[in-house]
Amino acid sequence: QVQLAESGGGLVQAGGSLRLSCAASGRTFSMYTMGWFRQAPGKEREFVATISWNVINTYYADSVKGRFTISRDNAKNTVYLQMNSLKPEDTAVYYCAARSGRNSETLDEYNYWGQGTQVTVSS
């Protein structure tokens, strides 16, 4: 079992930056692939980024590539999402998720989810 708790969301102007954190409980955090997803009002939850357990592999949605960076610190049981050059269309609730197995962009393949943190980007 893994419990996840996101933090770091807030209100930021377009062009600004935020860093989201996701703290995980459990001794086996380092064994999980981690992902970030987001859900805007009236839209389906979508993939943002994922990072493998050993930090070697990272993948990003085209919409955030070059602006967002996913990272993790297994010693601190934490995964991060650094978001730069934010745009109003990045406004959403951001969720972290964990799964056993390889990187995946598929929402249904993640077993554990946090409660989400709101990110609002004003124009």
> Tell me, what's the pLDDT at 24?
95
> Tell me, what's the pLDDT at 27?
72
CA separation (Å) from 15 to 21, 38, 119, 121?
Answer: 20, 19, 13, 9
> Tell me, what's the pLDDT at 58?
97
Tokens, residue 47: 């993939």
Q: Are the C-beta atoms of 35 and 4 separated by less than 8 Å?
A: no
> Tell me, what's the pLDDT at 61?
98
> Tell me, what's the pLDDT at 30?
86
CA-CA-CA-CA torsion sign (105, 106, 112, 114):
positive
> Tell me, what's the pLDDT at 45?
98
Cα–Cα dist 72/91, whole Å? 23
Residues with pLDDT less than 70, the chain: none
Residues 43-71 have pLDDT tens digits of: 999 999 999 999 889 999 999 999 999 99
> Tell me, what's the pLDDT at 87?
98
